[in-house]
């Protein structure tokens, strides 16, 4: 490996530990990053022709930007840039948006998704994808798992760039009602949930922390068939957000 290639490998590896940067793995994640205004610092592929053809077929709006950004690299070098190189053959580095999580907790016009100690990066990324699609104001997380981890970004198809996404250290003062998803709560009635509510979800295994449950203005549960103990995190987020959206008559937007 020559010096230039070595520097590229080092840069991608360092970016995985840099809280100001994000590694984007795969065409679909990069497509959304471009579509929602990400600042791309580096984009590489071992097969530019295939990548640009994919963009022209699936995302014509970003094809010109992608064509100007992509830098061809040897296949062996591309394989060194990610632990599990994406099948779509595209990798990139981008700057993370600067998100003030506390500002979003205090004010907003739509629902805010709060994930309490999510345990799996793929589930977290899938929840981001749902929150973006359903028009949530923001998605914030508590706990050690970074919502901008490359695995989460890959699972979220890069839609971390479509809405404010951040990890917060603690839940300080908030300016919205907190609605906790809790299997012991009342049956969810969307009409009784404020449009700007903080919707708090725990992990499948641990649920919400006692402290967060104690702060909730309401505890609600989704209707489920007897014997089914829980839903996947992203599925629960999707069910609640879309029930709210349908209630607001926005299903056709």
Rounded CA separation 101/166 (Å) = 6
Q: Which fold has domain 101-247?
A: Alpha/beta knot (3.40.1280)
The pTM score is 0.92
Task: Please report, in tens digits, the pLDDT of each residue of the chain (253 residues total).
Answer: 688 888 999 999 999 999 999 999 999 999 999 999 999 999 999 999 999 999 999 999 999 999 999 999 999 999 999 999 999 999 999 999 999 999 999 988 899 999 999 999 999 999 999 999 999 999 999 999 999 999 999 999 999 999 999 999 999 889 899 999 998 999 999 888 999 999 999 987 788 999 999 999 999 999 988 888 778 999 999 999 999 888 777 544 4
In CATH, the architecture of 3-95 is: 2-Layer Sandwich (3.30)
Domain ranges of the chain: 3-95, 101-247
């Amino acid at each position: 490996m020559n010096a230039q290639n070595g520097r590229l490998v080092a840069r991608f590896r360092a970016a995985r530990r840099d809280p100001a940067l994000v590694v984007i793995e795969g065409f679909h994640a990069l497509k959304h990053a471009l579509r929602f205004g990400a600042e791309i610092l580096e984009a590489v592929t071992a097969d530019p022709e295939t990548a640009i053809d994919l963009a022209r077929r699936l995302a014509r709006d970003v094809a010109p930007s992608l064509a100007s950004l992509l830098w061809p690299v040897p296949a062996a070098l591309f394989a060194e840039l990610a632990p599990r190189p994406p099948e779509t053959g595209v990798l990139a580095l981008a700057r993370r948006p600067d998100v003030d999580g506390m500002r979003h907790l205090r004010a907003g016009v739509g629902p805010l998704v709060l994930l309490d100690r999510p345990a799996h990066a793929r589930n977290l990324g899938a929840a981001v994808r749902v929150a973006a699609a359903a028009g949530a104001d923001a998605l914030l997380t508590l706990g050690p798992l970074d919502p901008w981890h490359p695995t989460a970004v890959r699972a979220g198809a890069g839609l971390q760039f479509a809405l404010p996404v951040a990890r917060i250290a603690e839940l300080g003062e908030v300016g919205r009602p907190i609605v906790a998803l809790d299997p012991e709560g009342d049956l969810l009635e969307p009409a009784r949930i404020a449009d700007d509510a903080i919707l708090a979800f725990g992990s499948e295994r641990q649920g919400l922390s006692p402290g967060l449950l104690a702060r909730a203005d309401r505890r609600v549960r989704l209707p489920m068939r007897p014997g089914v103990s829980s839903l996947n995190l992203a599925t629960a987020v999707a069910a609640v957000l879309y029930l709210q959206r349908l209630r607001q008559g926005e299903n056709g937007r």
